[in-house]
């Protein structure tokens, strides 16, 4: 699917580039001028712009953008269904074993830091 998308994007880029390239070639032929020195660079840049504007093959709203922390990340909604199945789970109860003491100690530590 990704390959088909890439091929589609490339074809679209070529289609949008063809009129521009034809126009440039026509101009060069009429003026009998040599190709500009940065001709290849110009073509590459124009191709990059054309490819950048071509749509990707897969729906943009269905997949998250895997980027760094500053880039937007799409998170789908409705993951937890209201009628989600109830399953048998394994639950154990154990004595506190210092949990309350740890919570109190953490509270005290944070209070000291605030002062």
Partner 1 sequence: MASKKTAPLGVGLDIGTMNLVSARRTADGTVETTRMRDAFLDLDARAKKMLKLSGVNFIDHGEDGIIVVGDAAMEMANVFGREARRPLSQGLISAGEMDALDVLGVLVKNVVGEPAKAGEVCYFSVPAAPVDESRDVVYHRGVFERIVTECGYEPYASNEAMAIIYAETAADGFSGLGISFGSGMCNLALAVSGVEGMVFSVARGGDWIDAGAARATGSTQSRMCALKEQGVDLMDPKSREEEALILYYKSLIEYALDQTTREFIKIKDRFSLPRPIPIVVSGGTSLAGNFLPFFEEVFEKKRRKFPIEISEIRHANDPLNAVARGLLIQAMQEYEGD
Instruction: State both tokens at 46.
Output: 């124009």
Residue 37 to residues 19, 24, 56, 104: CA-CA distances in angstroms? 21, 14, 33, 74
Least CB distance to partner 1 at residue 11 (A): 28
Instruction: Give the nearer residue to partner 1 in terms of CB position, either 3 or 77.
Output: 77
Which of helix, strand or coil describes residue 99?
helix
Query: Minimum CB separation from partner 1 for residue 61, in Å?
Result: 14
Residues near 54 by Cβ (< 8 Å), separated by ≥ 6? 8, 9, 10, 12, 13
Q: Which is nearer to partner 1, 36 or 64 (CB)?
A: 64
- The contact set with partner 1 (CB under 8 A) reads 64, 66-69, 73, 75-81, 84-99, 101-103, 105-107, 109-110, 113
Nearer to partner 1, 37 or 100 (CB): 100
Min dist CB 6 to partner 1, Å, is 19
Least distance in Å: CB of 85 to partner 1?
5
Q: At a CB cut-off of 8 Å and minimum separation 6, what does 71 contact?
A: 65
């Amino acid at each position: 699917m990704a390959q088909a998308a890439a091929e589609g994007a490339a074809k679209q880029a070529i289609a949008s580039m063809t009129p521009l390239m034809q126009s440039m070639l026509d101009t060069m032929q009429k003026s009998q001028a040599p190709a500009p020195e940065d001709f290849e660079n110009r073509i590459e840049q124009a191709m990059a712009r054309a490819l950048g504007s071509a749509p990707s093959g897969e729906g943009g709203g269905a997949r998250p953008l895997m980027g760094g922390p500053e880039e937007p990340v799409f998170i789908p909604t409705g993951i937890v269904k209201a009628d989600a199945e109830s399953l048998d789970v394994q639950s154990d109860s154990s004595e506190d074993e210092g949990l309350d003491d740890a919570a109190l100690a953490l509270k005290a530590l944070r209070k000291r830091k605030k002062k």
